[in-house]
Structure 1
Amino acid sequence: MKGNKIKIFTVLSLLVFTMTVGFQADDPAEINSRERLGEKLFFDPILSKDQSISCASCHKPEFAFADTSAVSLGVGGTKGARNTPTVTNLSGRSHLFWDGRSASLEEQALQPIINPVEMNLSAHEALERLNSSKLYVELFKKVFNSLPTEKNMLQAIAAYERTLETSNSPYDRYINGDDHAISPAAVRGRMLFIGKANCNTCHSGEDFTADRFKSIGLFNGKELNDAGRYEVTKNAEHIGEFKIPGLRNVGVTAPYMHNGMFKTLKEVINYYNAPDDVVKNGKNRDLALSKPLGLTKDEINDLEAFLISLTDDRFVKK
């Protein structure tokens, strides 16, 4: 699996390099694939009601395609309900969004466009705009041999999002044999991650997610009243559950959790270390958090150092 990720990175390296600033060119000769067409759509505000925001307005390339706000602002400054997650490393995910309501990147790509508190544009209006654009008609005919449709519009955006795989972090170099790629603190933090802190129970695999839903106690039915997965399934067992996010690039995707309640990684670790000190009466909290972890201050610092080592080089601030 890791070899496949590195192969993807190598093949798409030139394309991925441009992601960090966005692809703005209107020269049709430079847009010759679904990925490049999807990239143009991703950065184009044409898909929002008042043409003021694009997908990249909330999925900021320099922050690993996440946002820096607890919740993002849609057209007209309307506040969203949840924190904007990263769209990196989603090509293999079986559920998307915090509540898992979409099963594919194509399904996911439509939701922000039509959501009234995000881009607030119907699919019908979006297609009218694309089909009224000489440039987009030319591009869709070139790439899909078709006029813009809802299906091929979403296929293009999803194709671009599938290029946003990352596997060039200090951690990757460390596990591939470079013993000096990460700091001694990060080495100790890795051992805590898989040992005392027990993080890898949920954050496992190459992207550090088990692709499951868990309640970590951030729903109490009062001020913290987002029931998460339950809103989709209406299954009482799912109250307070949210999708376990991957941890790649987590060092640059603050704030954290579905509601952006934690501003730093240290706040996140402190919560897991002693949940009752932060949220009282959390509902349906996973049994793994039934007692404090007992991490010391130094261990918390080491664990933070390890998590930061998962940041791909392109997102590291020089």
Structure 2
Amino acid sequence: MCIRDGILLSFFLLLLPLAAWAEEPIKPIPLHVPYDHEKAELGKALFADPNLSADGTVSCASCHSFDHGGADPRPVSVGVHGRKGSANAPTVYNAYFNFRQFWNGRARDLKDQANGPLHNPLEMAMVPRRIEKYLAQNGYYRSAFRKVYGRTPRYDDMLDAVAEFEKALYTPNCKFDRYLRKEVKLSDEEAKGYSYFKTLGCITCHNGINIGGNSYQKLGLIIPYAWSETFPDLYQVTHNPFDKNVYKVPTLRNIDLTAPYFHDGSAATLQETLRKMAYHNLGFDLNREEERALIAFMKTLTGEKPAILKGE
């Protein structure tokens, strides 16, 4: 048995338990996710407000562009005073379905995640007291917080509203979800790509409702990936050397819209991303047929624009 065949057999054996509880290892996003519309609309305004940053230039939307699948089109994000961060901002679309937030999972939920960039000196560099003062002096916010929360603006309520808005950023009805619901068929190339996705081992890490976002995995599992102490990996949280280059698996939903890829923004295209992942995490090179088919499959993962962004 060659090395590649051995690796494929190992991944196949890992997949066997999945058949016991699910027909498919990927589940479609619900067509409707319940959320508080008034609270989410307040969060939407806050998400786009640069006045929540120290120099009035950076909002949450600055690094999570709705024109780029809820992600940052720059390799690393740029915060107040032009300060560069250390990571590519992942998509905020469908983040509600992640089991943890941030690349290293240091935030337990969306509310906890919203708190991070506001304090980070490389991002928004603000403090709660200053934010509350701004919100209380703003007529719209003063009225909206009173209506939604029944009191003057508080920092914790602001985080809650932003998290409710992010909960509403789900993207249903991608072609693959419709295929899973047996509403449409995949093209031959797309179907072949999904088959490769499962048999080559991609599905081992990218599964579930968010096709990722539900586990930690090591980048460079087979062939080591260069490590830097500035990377936002799990090691920064645990300080356990075993966790170097271990990250929360990113979602593949809307992947065609969210370039560049990886925590360091080092891959500009899906083709480059697939080649790196196959080499470092599967231990072999993809052939051109596999690349084309996998990319065709990944393009079926682009869902509808969130309804709250369309004013619905």
- In the TM superposition, 1:11-22 aligns within 5 A as none
Q: Which residue of 1 aligns with 2:198?
A: 194
Give 2:212's match in structure 1, choosing from 209, 214, 238: 209
1:98 and 2:98 are equivalent in the alignment:
no
Q: Which residue of 2 aligns with 1:309?
A: 300
Please state whether the residue corresponding to 1:113 is helix, strand or coil: helix
Q: Which residue of 1 aligns with 2:21?
A: none
1:207 partner amino acid: N
The separation in 2 between residues aligned to 1:101 and 1:118, in whole angstroms, is: 17
Residues 247-298 of structure 1, C-alpha deviations (whole Å, 9 max, x = no match): 11011000000000000110011112323xxxxxxxxxxxx63x31x53201
Distance 1:5 1:86, change over 3 A: same
Unaligned runs of 5+ in 2: 1-25, 307-312
Q: Which residue of 1 aligns with 2:138?
A: 133
Residues 1-22 of structure 1, C-alpha deviations (whole Å, 9 max, x = no match): 95771132xx78xx9xxxxxxx
The separation in 1 between residues aligned to 2:121 and 2:173, in whole angstroms, is: 37
User: Is the contact made by 2:71 and 2:92 (CA closer than 8 Å) also made in structure 1?
Assistant: yes
Please state whether the residue corresponding to 1:52 is helix, strand or coil: coil
Give 2:291's match in structure 1, choosing from 300, 304, 307: 300
**TM-score between both structures, scaled by the size of structure 2:** 0.83
Give 2:181's match in structure 1, choosing from 169, 176, 187: 176
The separation in 2 between residues aligned to 1:141 and 1:210, in whole angstroms, is: 35
Distance 1:91 1:74, change over 3 A: same
- Runs ≥4 residues deviating over 6 A: none
1:153 and 2:178 are equivalent in the alignment:
no
1:135 Cα deviation from its structure 2 partner: 1.9
2:299 partner amino acid: I
Distance 1:73 1:144, change over 3 A: same
User: Is the contact made by 1:230 and 1:240 (CA closer than 8 Å) also made in structure 2?
Assistant: yes
The separation in 2 between residues aligned to 1:300 and 1:152, in whole angstroms, is: 46
The separation in 2 between residues aligned to 1:206 and 1:39, in whole angstroms, is: 24
The separation in 1 between residues aligned to 2:158 and 2:85, in whole angstroms, is: 24
2:46 partner amino acid: L
Residues 125-182 of structure 1, C-alpha deviations (whole Å, 9 max, x = no match): 11111112122111100110011111111000000000011121111122222444x4
Please state whether the residue corresponding to 2:30 is helix, strand or coil: helix
1:41 Cα deviation from its structure 2 partner: 0.4
Unaligned runs of 5+ in 1: 16-31, 276-287
User: Is the contact made by 1:37 and 1:139 (CA closer than 8 Å) also made in structure 2?
Assistant: yes
Distance 1:260 1:92, change over 3 A: same
Q: Which residue of 2 aligns with 1:74?
A: 79
1:233 and 2:262 are equivalent in the alignment:
no
Q: Which residue of 2 aligns with 1:256?
A: 261
Distance 1:227 1:47, change over 3 A: closer
Q: Which residue of 1 aligns with 2:8?
A: none
1:188 Cα deviation from its structure 2 partner: 0.6
1:167 and 2:158 are equivalent in the alignment:
no
The separation in 2 between residues aligned to 1:190 and 1:2, in whole angstroms, is: 14
Residues 264-273 or 252-261, more deviating: 264-273
1:228 partner amino acid: D
User: Is the contact made by 1:227 and 1:241 (CA closer than 8 Å) also made in structure 2?
Assistant: no
